[in-house]
Amino acid sequence: METSIMATDLKLHKKYGKFIKTFEGSTPVMLVYDAEWIKEAFVKNFSLFTNRRRLLFGGALDQGLFSMEGDHWRHSRKMLSSEFSSGKLKKMMPEIQKCVQHFVQILEDSDEQPVDIRTKCYALTLDLISHTAFGLDSDAQTNEDSQFTKNALRLISFGEAEQPLKEKIRSTVAIFVVLLAPDWLVKLFAKLSITVFDAGAINYFEQLCQSVIDSRKSDNPGADFVQTLVNNMKETSKGDPDTLVDTLGYNWTKKGLTKTEIIGNALLFLFAGFQTTADTMLFVFYELAQYPEIQEKLYGEIIEICDSDDVTPEQVNQLKLLDYCINETMRLYPQAFRFDRSASEDVTIRDIFVPKGTAVTAIPWTIQRDPEIWEDPEEFDPYRFTPDRFTEKQVTAFMPFGIGNRLCIGSRLALMEMKLSIITALKKFEFKTCPDTPERPLEFAAVPAVTPSKKIMLSFVKREAATTD
């Protein structure tokens, strides 16, 4: 049986310690399992670790926030940050709640029979993103064969068993080039759109974004992520003093965002948002089913505070045990189980020398399970996040959305989606294990994602109060 990346990281840390220097092709790489060192490097010395390791994906994705560098990244981050403000999230809540109610109805239709909760969570988050990002009804929760759903799943299927052989070969070659080839060859592959992702799926979503943008430019304005970006769309032109060329060779402008940047960031919103949010939710459902006493305490908190179907942001913010349960889930199963920054020059931090160009890779999966930091780290214990137990050392070691100025820009939206989903489902059902539910500790597939080796099967049993409503 192949070993997951996370299991490999745990073994490497145990064998070699907190710092491991190696090479991937011609790129020097340093794996870091020390939270204090990571904080000093990525936060206090952010100017030296501004950019991620150069991983070009090809197509419009290379002009999304993840791949951008330097001033181009700073400009785009500033432009996009307003999309995730408290006011914008509040406006999104009706659409989020509509999708969540549909999700709960689907669980109710299961008639208390075991369901593959990962599949249901994926459909929910696709539905959420299609509404909040694109202003479209994807039909993801009722039609598994919709083009939106099929292409989204193709986008994240690299390395998984159901991926067609042709795509496995193409993505394997692309991953080899991205990780091991010299910079000029990586750029060439990106320009030729030879990517680590399914080329057909990328093309489908680029065309979809193009059609949405064209629609919004005419007489059909919306109130979603893409619409706001379209309102700030500016194309570059030669000779314009505000037109600049970034370190990857792409034109950008200080006046707004180009059409390709809008498409790239919409794709990034989809790719980075739907799988990570869905997988975190499924692990919350799984752990609450494993620990029914915690589930019932959370249910009691929700019933006390959220006493009507219309949940407000203010009520959500009062649900402290819900915060602890989600935090504990993200501690155990961080979706960003690895993230990196590239050193822009030679630097020594805490007596560790880092040569220019080194890809410094933080390993949250291992750090967040370190017994020197966390008591009984493999246990699901939400109460470790209460103010009297959550230590400064643990605050530094807890980094489920990354750290510093390149912290995940959509984290607040992801948390709101998860919270509303859990609140609504828990008011209606008890989450229960069944004979096909895998036991703790879970094992994970050897793919670049936090993917359980076995399906997470759970039953959703109607609560008596919900049955009599």
Q: What does the pLDDT average to over 427-450?
A: 95
Q: What does the pLDDT average to over 360-387?
A: 98
Here the tokens at position 31 are 């794996």
Report the amino acid identity of residue 82.
Answer: S
Closest CA to 267 of 220, 223, 215, 201: 201
pLDDT band at 236 (very low <50, low <70, confident <90, very high): confident
Global pTM value: 0.93
The residues spanned by each domain of the chain are 5-467
Burial class (CB in 10 A: 0-12, 13-18, 19+), 314: exposed
Average pLDDT over the chain reads: 90
pLDDT band at 346 (very low <50, low <70, confident <90, very high): very high
Cα gap 176→253, rounded to integer Å: 33
DSSP symbol at 453: S
| % pLDDT > 90, the chain | 68
Cα gap 318→148, rounded to integer Å: 36
Burial class (CB in 10 A: 0-12, 13-18, 19+), 26: exposed
Cα gap 322→395, rounded to integer Å: 18
pLDDT band at 238 (very low <50, low <70, confident <90, very high): confident
Q: Which residue has the higher pLDDT, 138 or 368?
A: 368
pLDDT band at 179 (very low <50, low <70, confident <90, very high): low
Report the amino acid identity of residue 62.
Answer: D
Residue 161 pLDDT exceeds 50: no
Q: What does the pLDDT average to over 234-247?
A: 85
pLDDT in tens, 408-428: 999 999 999 999 999 999 999
Per-residue pLDDT, 343: 97
CATH of 5-467, one of 1.10.630.10, 3.40.50.720, 1.10.640.10, 2.30.30.230: 1.10.630.10
Q: What does the pLDDT average to over 111-127?
A: 96
β-bridge partners, 300: none
CA distances 418 to 13, 84, 128, 330, Å, are 32, 15, 11, 12
pLDDT band at 155 (very low <50, low <70, confident <90, very high): confident
Residue 158 pLDDT exceeds 80: no
Per-residue pLDDT, 467: 52
pLDDT in tens, 291-341: 999 999 999 999 999 988 889 999 999 999 999 999 999 999 999 999 999
pLDDT in tens, 46-83: 999 999 998 767 778 889 999 999 999 999 999 999 88
408 is in an annotated binding site: yes
Q: What does the pLDDT average to over 426-442?
A: 97
- Let me know: does 54 contact 178? Beta carbons within 8 Å: no
pLDDT in tens, 86-106: 998 998 999 999 999 999 999
pLDDT band at 468 (very low <50, low <70, confident <90, very high): very low
